[in-house]
Amino acid sequence: MQLNLFLKRVLLLDAASCLGMGALLAPAADVLSPLFGLEPSLLFDAGVALIPTGLFILWVGTRTQIRPLFVYLVIAGNFIWVLESLLLVRGTAGITGLGTAFVIAQAAAVAGFALLEWIGVRRARQTATPA
């Protein structure tokens, strides 16, 4: 599949958000923990996990041609992140209002990326398929 400009831009923005969030959460986990009512280890681990994830999405977004499977992996990973975020908010005793707002806001952004990536894949596949 050839990546169209729309899909490339969405993937690159998704990668930048992962890398930026990872760069924030990992080193600031101890500071953010009491503000969010979340364990420092959870914030740190999430931040660390976002770095290779962001690098993978960056790699996908910088390809000209790529197997659709790689883009579907990004989309699936985003949906899993959203689901885990919602479960975290629902199942974490002591999460603060700020923590809830933060988790919900980033989950909404990630859901938006997944939707836009899905639209981009559909457009790329329609362009590749002769009418």
Question: For residue range 28-73, what is the model confidence (pLDDT) as tens digits?
Answer: 999 999 999 999 999 999 999 999 999 999 999 999 999 999 999 9
Q: Which residue do the tokens 């986990």 mark?
A: 29
- Determine contact, residues 21/53, Cβ cutoff 8 Å: no
Q: Which residues lie closer than 8 Å to 77 by C-beta, 6 or more apart?
A: 53
Is the pTM above the cut of 0.75? yes
Radius of gyration of the chain (CA): 16
Tell me how far apart the terminal alpha carbons of the chain are, to the nearest angstrom: 16
- Determine contact, residues 32/43, Cβ cutoff 8 Å: yes
